[in-house]
Structure formats: C-alpha cells, structure tokens
Structure 1
C-alpha cells in the first residue's frame, strides 16, 4: 500500500542481496521487463493497477520495432519495502511507491551500490491531503492535542507517520514521548482501532477513506492542514535505465497515456481499479476522481522535490536512513524525452480547486456543483438515487464524503470540514456559526 516501510522491513533491506536484471530468455531476442507495483495503493495506479489493466505499456513496447520481443512481468506487493529489496537485488526494473519509501529506496540503492532514481510522479496532493488521522466512530477525541498520552497506530517510515510526527510537533507534543506509537501495517492498525487497542490511526490513501466509508472510523486530522506536499512516484534502477532507455521511455509514455485515461474517464478508471483491488469504487473515486484528493501528473515538480528534501529529517529521526542526496536521486531526463514538448506544460500546471460532486446510482458520469449547499439540495431531492456525494473541506480543499463531513451553518451558508478541529476553529472565529449534523444540513436546504 502507499508509503509504508516499517522499521523492521527497512532493516531487512540492509541484508546482502543478489540477483539478475531484466531477464533475457532463449536466444536473447526476448526481454522480460519486471515492474513492481502496489495494486491497492491507488495513487500509483497510472504506473500500476490501471496501467496494467489498460495494456498501454505492452503496446508501447510492441511499437518500439527494434526486433526484440518484450514481455512484462507485473509483480504486485503490499508495500514499497519489498519492491526496493527486489530492485537492489536486480530483480525489479521499475517500481512505484510513496514519497517516504522512495527516500528509503534511494538510500538503500546507494548503500548497496545499486543506485535507483526517481523518474516520474504518479499521484500527489500539494497540501498533504493524502494522509489522515482517524479515530473510532464513537471516540471523544476532537483534536490532535487530545492524542497526548494515547495509543496511535501508524507505519513507521511512511508518509502517514510523517504526518503524525509533524502534526504532533505543531501541537507542542513530543512525537517520541507524548504518545504511545504502535508500529503496525495499515490492516493491523485498522483492526486495532476497531478493537479499542489503538485510540487513533494515522494512515495513507486509501485507508482513511475506506474506514470512514465503512463507518469504522471518523477523521480527526486532515493531513492538508500541514500544507506540505505528499506524493507517489516511479523509481527505476540506474543500470536498467542506462541499458534500456527506450524501454523506460516506453513505460513513461504509457504512464502518461494512463494518466490521460484517468483524467478523461474518471468513473470508468475508478471502476477498473475497484475491480482489480476489491476496494469500493466510491473510495477509489474519493482519491482518484475528477475532483479527487489526488492529482495525477508524471512531471517531477519542484514543489515535490523540495518536499522530499523536507522528509529526510523524519526518516533520520526514526533511524531509517542517514543523509540522502535528493538531487542526485531525482532524474527526469527520461520522462522529459518521453513526454516531449508537453512536459514543460505539465510541469507548470497546477491542480484545479476541488468541487462538490455527486455520483448518482447507475450513472456513468458524476454531477458537479458550484457550492456544497447546491449539492445538499440535489441529495435531499434524490436521497434514494445517490451512490456517493463528495464535498471539499472549506479551509483545506480536501475532498471528503458529504455524509462523513463535519458541517457548519453560518447563517444561510453551509460549510463542510474533514476534521472537527478545523470546523470548531471556523465556529470560534465566526460569531453565530455552529456545528450541525448532516441530517440538519440536508433539512436546511429541503
């Protein structure tokens, strides 16, 4: 799943590793390209799940016309750590993972003399909205400050852990001593939250949205409150890239085509990913939809590289890495060549503001509304015909399920928030404003 290299799994990467690179079979006219991906890490789908289902990489390889027969070996992993282990063993050529695991990928590759490089970006959020801290549905915890002395589950070495550490620091809580941190895989943490053995869970896409959708959790802290970018990207072995640049460029062209497909067919893309992963399509769409939390763009933006440099200190504090030369890890020459003149345009592009959106039942397209109140009006009139409704947080812009949002009534204006603390902050600064239930919000527009 997204960025989650635990301390234990990261330590495994220190062991001696041996292996071979791209396998050349038979007479040498057939080359196998091995791609490591994480099917349920839905912000890597343009380099993984969706790309595989569309067959674009195979098509681009066939179009090379160099007399070589190419085969693609797609290897699905639950985390980024084993992808890094296989890459440094020479057994995976191209991999995709979250920002913190990418840094561990860079560190291990350099340490073992098997350097890797960040060659493109998949999904990102410039404010950090891909990570969320959630609590049990009946929890009395209402703010990050309430976590002091509590048990919090996360995956050390992941961006979700980075969000937790930074949020605690901003709240004046020592991340090392102020809470009891449980280093757990997301599924284990989700079970711990449900069982009451964890008071909160800090995790990454798609876990917070999935648990909220299932009614098993509610948001406590929106990662976008940090206003620090988080992203996923594609990493390639340096020796592979130098030996087969045309193959890597074919992959990046295919990734760009998959990105275009996701942008132009967001509902169909969500359904494809849902079918391949078993995740609810409504949850996939929350992150990867037309106005989803994640933006997809292969360009390696300066803001993301700067964020990567900021992340190094979190991994160093967790003793997962030492110093990392981010500039030498980043190598966008291949994606520049693959995308050609469009690269500069994509590099300069900025995400459009999120909008309120409804996915009607049995519909192949969604409906967009200018304001949350307009969405509420539509939902109130079509209560039995709604598959999912999404609204952007009034302060961070993070999309969330309308029925899971914290609603504030400010006169005739209705405003949604992901987390209770941000909603309360608005109420405190706007006389007469107050928190209302979702049912109340619907009643006000009926």
Structure 2
C-alpha cells in the first residue's frame, strides 16, 4: 500500500510538467509555488516581496498549484524553490525523497478544513460514513483530518472508500451525489458552505492543528538563507495586516480568488496568522502526523521530521541569516 501511495504521488509529475514551463530559471530568480488561499495570494498581488528583493538583484516568479501535493512535486522536480502547503503534503514528499526543508509555519487553523455532507444528507456523524465514498485530495492536509476523524468515531481508514480527487473534481462529484462526503479546506470549504449549503460533519477542532508550512528546497536554504529570511519577514507583515484588517483585506483578496466577499471573509477569518520558524512543539506535532501515516503503511518507512527542518547556521548546513 505504501508503494502504491508513493507511486500515486510520483504520478503527479506529469501534471506538474503541464503547470510549470520547462525553462531553466536564472540563478537570481526565486520561484514560488502558491495555492488559491492564504497569505501568499495577497503577497503576490501587493508586489512587496519583489521590491524587498530587488536590492539583492533577485526577481520572483509565481506559479499557482491546485493543491499541496502538486506543489511539492514541483519542488521535487526543481521547478519551485519555495512554497506553502498544509501539514500532510510535506510528509508524503519527504517519504518520496524530495529535497525539502520546513522554513516556517502559521498558527493553527482547525476550523478551516472539514468533512462536509449535503445539507439534507442522512449522514449525521462520522460513524455513519462506514462503507461510504469520501472525496479528498490524496496526501493533502485533509487526508490527516479524515484519518483522525475516523479514529475518533471508532472506524479505521479501511472502513470507508476514499475517492482521490483534486478540489474542482471533488466538488463536482459532491454536487452530483457521487460521494457521500467531502474532506476539504478553505476557501473551497467556505464556498461549499455558502453556495452548496454543505453541512459540516466534523472540522479539525480538537483533532488537528492544520498548520500551513512554508517550505524550500534544501539546496536553496544553503545558497540563499538571506532571501528566505526576507520572504518570511514579508509574509509576517502581510499576516499582521490581514489579522488586523480582515474585512478590508477581504475586498482585496476576493477578486484574486474569484469568489464573493462573504465566502472570502469566512475563509480569511478562519486562517491562522503569524509566521514563525518551527518550535520543538510544532516539530513534534508534525512527527506525530508522519508516524500516523507510517503506521497506516501509506508511507514505507519511519521519517524524522527534524532532519528536514531549516536550522539557520545548524545541521542542515545553512549559513546563519543576517
């Protein structure tokens, strides 16, 4: 099963090749992968990172991905230097041998992901999912949420029928009734609640932290620690603005996401803000996620998360940032 999971992850290479132009980046280009949520959308729109890096003669190239697993395959094949994902994709990427480093993380946001069902569904508890089809993006943050929610309900992962679909395809399957439930994150979750009147069966409260992680290639952390420090600093500035002015920021973000303001505001309010380098507690939590998937035989070997955490000036050979 572990080999099958990793083969599925590796199969995303073809998808990534269509998303990212196969043109070698210049040495002074920082290639960022982002998704349609979170701080990075606003950072891209504001252009403040480009201004910050201009004195270092570094330009920025942005590529949007449909989910964390696809983004990290971009990092794995050398098309991306830096990106943001949920907590589960880095585990699968590390298991697949990707050269990645955890650079920073955002505070917990457990309500920004959930298992949802149709508003008139006869399913009223996670336990009712036994034998049913559940849509999710394989290897994404909601993969871990689903595992934890099933365990809480006294079910094993094998008790449900996982249907692995990217968000757009999963929504279509959910609307048709081809799946009984959908495990999804914001802003897709907020859109499902507002537009489809989807009912939350279980969100992450008390189950998962749902951290967002900023990641870079190991090679980039060694060669450009000062660039990464600048990136994290600019992310923190946007975080403060979003936290303090959620409604005003929503008006900026909504057109970028192509979503109505009420949906965008709900997603913005549920996100965690305050990027920081990883604490021992966060590393331990992430280690627990990795161990869970190892126990499920979805990854083939025990992983050490601390082996792939960026330690400026430490064991990963990174020169201390100034």
Name the TM-score class by shorter chain: 0.7 to 0.9
Separation in 2 of the partners of 1:318 and 1:285?
Answer: 38
Among 196, 209, 220, the residue aligned to 2:201? 220
Distance 2:257 2:300 in 1: 31
Deviations 1:63-82 (A, max 9, x none): 44xxxx32211111112233
Given the two structures, how large is their TM-score scaled by the length of structure 1? 0.63
**Structure 1 residues 206 and 303 mapped into 2: Cα distance closer, same or farther (>3 Å)?**
farther
Q: Does 1:121 align with 2:105?
A: yes
CA contact (8 A) 1:123 1:233 kept: no
Q: What's the offset of the Cα at 1:117?
A: 0.6
Work out the CA distance in 2 between the residues paired with 1:206 and 1:7. 27
- 2:127–2:150: 8 Å Cα contact kept in structure 1? yes
Greater length-normalized contact order (CA 8 Å, ≥ 6 residues apart): 2
TM-superposed CA distance for 1:214, in Å, is 0.8
Aligned to 1:364: none
- Cα distance in structure 1, aligned partners of 2:264 and 2:8: 27
Q: Distance in 1 between matches of 2:274 and 2:141?
A: 19
Say if 1:89 and 1:198 are closer, same or farther in 2 by CA, change over 3 A. closer
Task: Show the counterpart of 1:379.
Answer: none
Shift of residue 252 of structure 1?
A: 1.4
Query: Which runs of at least 4 in structure 1 moved beyond 3 Å after TM superposition?
Result: 6-9, 19-22
Deviations 1:136-158 (A, max 9, x none): 11112111122122222222212
Q: Residue 12 of structure 1: CA displacement? A: 2.4
Structure-2 change in CA distance of 1:75 and 1:214 (3 Å): same
CA separation of 1:83/1:192 partners in 2, compared to 1, >3 Å: closer, same or farther?
closer
Tell me how far 1:133 sits from its aligned partner.
0.9
Structure 1, gaps ≥5 residues long: 1-5, 25-30, 341-446
- Which of 48, 52, 66 is matched with 1:78 structurally? 66
Question: Using the alignment, how far apart are the partners of 1:254 and 1:278 within structure 2?
Answer: 24
**TM-aligned CA distance change 1:71 to 1:165, over 3 Å:** same
Counterpart residue number, 2:167? 186
Are positions 1:37 and 2:34 aligned together? Answer: yes
- Structural mapping, 1:415-426, within 5 Å: none
Contact 1:54 1:258 in 2 (8 A): no
Structure 1 10/98 Cα, relative in aligned 2: closer, same or farther at 3 Å?
same
Alignment of 1:54-133 (within 5 A): 54-64=46-56, 69-108=57-96, 111=97, 115-122=99-106, 124-125=108-109, 128-133=110-115
Q: Distance in 2 between matches of 1:218 and 1:331?
A: 39
* Unmatched runs of 5 consecutive residues or more in structure 2: 314-319
Q: Distance in 2 between matches of 1:59 and 1:287?
A: 28
Instruction: Let me know the Cα RMSD of the aligned residues.
Output: 2.7
Aligned twin of 2:146: 164
Q: For residue 317 of structure 2, what is the aligned residue in structure 1?
A: none
In the TM superposition, what is the alpha-carbon distance from 1:119 to its structure 2 partner?
0.4
Q: Computing the radius of gyration over CA atoms, which structure comes out larger, 1 or 2?
A: 1
**Secondary structure, aligned partner of 1:129:** helix
Tell me which residue corresponds to 1:315.
293
Q: TM-score, normalised by structure 2?
A: 0.85
The alpha-carbon distance between structure 1 residues 306 and 205, as it changes in their structure 2 partners (threshold 3 A), is farther
C-alpha contact 1:230 1:307 (8 A) present in aligned 2: no
- Larger helix fraction of residues: 2
Paired position in structure 2 for 1:135: 117
Change (3 A) 1:86 1:149: closer
Find the aligned partners of 1:88 and 1:302 in 2 and give their Cα distance. Answer: 25
SS at match of 1:220: strand
| In structure 2, C-alpha distance between the alignment counterparts of 1:295 and 1:82, rounded to whole Å | 22
Q: 1:331, 1:241 → 2: CA distance?
A: 7
More strand by proportion, 1 or 2?
1
Contact 1:98–1:233 at 8 Å: present in 2 too? yes
CA distance in 2: counterparts of 1:245 and 1:21, whole angstroms: 21
1:96–1:233 contact (8 Å) kept in structure 2? yes
Q: Which residue of 2 aligns with 1:11?
A: 10
SS at match of 1:333: coil
Partners of 2:66 and 2:167 within 8 A in 1:
no
